[in-house]
Structure formats: structure tokens, C-alpha cells
Amino acid sequence: EALNELYAVLTQSYSANIGFRSAGIEEVVVTELNRMLSRNTKLNSAEIDKRLIHAMPVDIRVVINWNMNSTDIDLHVTDPNKEMCFYGHRSTQIGGRISNDITQGYGPEQFMLKKAISGKYEVFVNYFGDTQVKAEGPSTIMLEIFTRYAGKDEKREVVCVQLSKER
């Protein structure tokens, strides 16, 4: 059922308002769909467009989502060569790649690197801004860090952080 729901996100029509807020989410959905298929060979993928199905193991995958609509939060990842990947520099020399910059809605944004090099990777977010009055307080992000994503020895770490104006 989850596989069918993910596929429906790719194939159903959206109103202009929702479509604008989530422009680029397809890349993240296709990644999740392929992970499901790679981790459970009993799933029936007969109804899924074959052009979307690919083995997608990657050494590093980072995903952020947030809890406030009309908010722009930007994912940044710096690799061991000190090259930063973010919305203004979407791919790196070593093959890191960031998804579309989601400037409305709840995210997600993702970074993926097929073949990681040894060294320290830094992950951070930039709270670019919002266009709403909030009684709830600052936005909260959920950060998921995967290593060996979609492989048999995949590891996942989840970090939730409430943002503040302080650095």
C-alpha cells in the first residue's frame, strides 16, 4: 500500500497552489520508491512506470523536512574537500548532488552522494525565512542522515532541531 501511495504522488494531479509548493519533490519520491523496491523484493511493481525503477544505492543521503508551511529552509552539505553543496551550488566535484530548493511548504530537500570519500562531512541548515505569522514558535526540522542508503547495511540517524535566530 505504501508503494502505491508513493507512486500516486508522482502520477496524480495537484492544484496550482500545491504543485508550486512542492515543485521538485518528485526526485525525493522516486528515491524513496526505489528504496522500498530494493529492500523488499516481494513488492509488486507491475503498475509502476519502468522508467522510474533504478537501483539507487548511495553512500550518503541527507533529507530535511520541516513543520511550518510558507517557510524556506535550505540544506547545506560540505564535503571533506571543503566544497559546499546547496541550492546555489547543486553539484560537487566528488559527485554530491542536492535536490530542488523548496521555498514553500514543508520540504523535503535531499543531498545524495553515490561514492563518498573519506573524511568529515558537515551538514547544516539555513533558515532563509518565512511568510507567515506563527503562534507556534520557530520552525522545527527533522534531519535524516543515511549511510549506505538502500543497501543491506543501511544506517539511519534522525535528528530533530527547533530553529532559532542564534547561530
What are the tens digits of pLDDT across the range 44-102? 888 888 988 888 889 999 999 988 877 888 999 999 999 999 999 999 999 999 998 88
Beta bridge partners of 121: none
pLDDT at 47: 86
DSSP 35: H
The answer on pLDDT for 26 being more than 70 is yes
Q: Are 3 and 43 within 8 A, CB to CB?
A: yes
Which pLDDT score is estimated for 59?
96
Q: What is the dihedral of CA 16, 19, 23, 24, to 10 degrees?
A: -140
**Is the confidence at residue 36, as pLDDT, over 60?**
yes
Virtual torsion, Cα 43, 48, 49, 54, nearest 10 deg:
-30
- Grouping H, G, I as helix, E, B as strand and the rest as coil, residue 4 is helix
